[in-house]
């Protein structure tokens, strides 16, 4: 069974709406997050990046028609405007505004990973006691 990408969206609410529409119409789908976003969805319950929806070729046209009822402006198939770089934005000053949020997300991810490891170690040690 070969799959085709149906849609990619950056909005969690739209992602849930798409899931609901596909499930109500008994269309099997696969939902994939890019990179570390899958880990963030599991650990934090929310993905901070794009979510890709795939359906088999057999259901693709029907699924495409069903999600077309959602307002096309709601879909974020591209990077939001405030994050887009213009050709002149490749300078160091424009990149500084993204440095702190990236560090915070990195530290949050690292902290969650450390907590996970500590809990895992405690559980293993408790089994042997």
Query: Are residues 22 and 54 located together in one domain of the fold?
Result: yes
> Residue 52's pLDDT is what?
87
Query: Residue 32 gets which letter from DSSP?
Result: E
Return the structure tokens found at 69. Answer: 């009822």
> Is-contact 15 51, C-beta < 8 A?
yes
Per the structure, how many domains does the chain have? 2
What tens digit of pLDDT does each residue of 69-115 get?
Answer: 775 545 444 444 554 455 554 556 655 655 666 778 888 889 999 99
> Residue 114's pLDDT is what?
94
Output the domain CATH number for residue 42.
3.30.70.790
- Taking alpha carbons only, the member of 14, 56, 10, 16 closest to residue 33 is 10
> Residue 48's pLDDT is what?
72
HSE on the CB side for 124, CA within 13 Å? 6
Query: Are residues 67 and 116 located together in one domain of the fold?
Result: no
Query: Are residues 36 and 66 located together in one domain of the fold?
Result: yes
> Residue 15's pLDDT is what?
84
> Residue 100's pLDDT is what?
65
Query: Are residues 104 and 74 located together in one domain of the fold?
Result: no
Residue holding tokens 């890709």? 52
Look up the domain containing 27 and give its range: 3-79
- Residue 55 pLDDT > 80, yes or no? yes
What tens digit of pLDDT does each residue of 18-47 get?
Answer: 999 999 999 999 988 877 776 676 677 666
Query: Are residues 22 and 64 located together in one domain of the fold?
Result: yes
Q: pTM value? A: 0.52
Contacts of 116 (CB under 8 A, 6+ apart): 43
> Residue 78's pLDDT is what?
44
> Residue 14's pLDDT is what?
85
Query: Are residues 59 and 117 located together in one domain of the fold?
Result: no
> Residue 106's pLDDT is what?
81
């Amino acid at each position: 069974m070969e799959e085709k990408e149906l849609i990619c969206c950056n909005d969690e609410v739209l992602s849930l709406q798409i899931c609901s529409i596909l499930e109500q119409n008994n269309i099997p789908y696969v939902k994939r997050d890019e990179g570390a976003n899958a880990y963030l969805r599991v650990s934090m319950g929310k993905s901070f990046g794009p979510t890709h929806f795939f359906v088999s070729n057999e259901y693709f046209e029907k699924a495409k028609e069903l999600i077309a009822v959602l307002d096309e402006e709601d879909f974020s198939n591209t990077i939001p405007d405030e994050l887009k770089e213009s050709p002149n934005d490749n300078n160091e000053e424009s990149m500084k505004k993204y440095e702190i949020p990236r560090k915070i997300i990195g530290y949050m991810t690292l902290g969650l990973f450390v907590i996970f490891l500590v809990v895992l170690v405690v559980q293993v040690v408790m089994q042997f006691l």
